[in-house]
């Protein structure tokens, strides 16, 4: 099945692209989610108009993302977690935790845009990439600090 993407879809294509997908993926995910339309002859004519508006929309989004990236580069987040021996955390700091902390500071960022391959499971300072736009990535400084180790707390 050929579809025309109305939005950017990860690992598939960008807005305005004509892509070939499995029938089930197109019918059950892309079309109901309004992420794509069928690539019929009539819709192909509409593509040209969509591409022109997409270029304008992408340019506006990129400018807004660049402004937000400069703001986010100054943001520093710190998390305090319980720590065991060898500075291993009893939990972890996930992209959801980072998204919530950013929201408390006034930045609404979807947790899926936070590029954290694995949750942070040890103490230290990290620079976490946040993909704001296809071409714009900001880096947020995240510090994971620990309270007293459990072994030391048990003996005290």
| CATH assignment of the domain containing 116 | 3.10.430.100
Q: For residue range 59-102, what is the model confidence (pLDDT) as tens digits?
A: 898 898 889 888 888 889 988 888 887 777 888 888 899 999 99
Q: Please tell me whether residues 111 and 136 are part of one structural domain.
A: yes
Residue 14: predicted pLDDT:
84
Domain count, the chain: 2
The dihedral of CA 82, 87, 90, 92: what is its sign?
positive
Instruction: Give the side-chain half-sphere CA count within 13 A for 123.
Output: 14
Residue 148: predicted pLDDT:
64
Which residues in the chain land under pLDDT 50?
A: 150-156
Residue after which a domain boundary falls, among 14, 33, 61: 61
Residue 150: predicted pLDDT:
47
């Amino acid at each position: 099945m050929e579809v025309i993407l109305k939005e950017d879809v990860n690992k598939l294509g960008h807005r305005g692209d004509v892509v070939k997908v499995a029938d089930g993926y197109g019918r059950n995910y892309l079309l109901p989610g309004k992420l794509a339309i069928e690539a019929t002859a009539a819709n192909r004519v509409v593509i040209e108009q969509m591409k022109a508006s997409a270029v304008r929309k992408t340019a506006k989004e990129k400018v807004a993302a660049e402004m937000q990236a400069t703001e986010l580069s100054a943001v520093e987040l710190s998390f305090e977690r319980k720590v065991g021996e060898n500075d291993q955390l009893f939990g972890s700091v996930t992209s959801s935790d980072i998204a919530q902390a950013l929201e408390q500071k006034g930045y609404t960022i979807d947790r899926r845009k936070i590029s954290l391959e694995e949750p942070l499971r040890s103490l230290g300072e990290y620079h976490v990439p946040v993909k704001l736009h296809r071409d714009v990535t900001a880096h947020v400084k995240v510090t994971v600090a620990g309270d007293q180790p459990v072994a030391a707390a048990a003996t005290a």
